Amino acid sequence: MGVLLLVGIYLTIGYLYFDFPKLIPIFEYSFPSVLIAIPLTFFLAKAFSIIKNKKVGKLIYKAFAFLGTISLELYCVQEFLGAKIVPLLNDKMGHFLINIVLFAVVLIAAIILSVLGKLFWKVFDGVHERLFVK
């Protein structure tokens, strides 16, 4: 698994920064991504099982559990907000800071959307219960 991970990282860096020849032209970026994703999944699972009872592990679990509850909302707003925000910030700051700002804005928007969605369904269920449930 470690060898696959290292080969995937090596190929990705080579493709992005050193103009490596493409091994499989159609899958030039997806092939190294697969080589990274598969072993990384197992390594992260093992790492999380090791730290799950530690304070840091519990904090990481809570953060991922929270993000999991709003994953649909994150998915729905990230493209829209990214298309609006990135062009505004592109000349003002570097890519790293843009990503941090974008993540914060998308997270806040997703939380708001989640709250509005829950409120909508609460109202909808109340109206439905009054009209149709006897």
**Taking Cα atoms as reference points, which of 31, 12, 8 lies closest to residue 20?**
12
**What is the model's pTM?**
0.68
pLDDT of residue 91: 83
pLDDT of residue 49: 87
Instruction: Give the CA angle between residues 90, 92, 96 to the nearest 5°.
Output: 65
Q: Do 76 and 113 meet the contact criterion of CB atoms below 8 Å apart?
A: yes
Give the pLDDT band (50/70/90) at residue 5.
very high
Cα 54 to Cα 44: distance, rounded to the nearest angstrom? 15
pLDDT in tens, 82-126: 999 999 888 888 888 999 999 999 999 999 999 999 999 999 999
pLDDT of residue 134: 66
Q: Do 4 and 37 meet the contact criterion of CB atoms below 8 Å apart?
A: no
pLDDT in tens, 17-67: 887 777 666 666 788 888 999 999 999 989 888 888 888 888 988 898 899
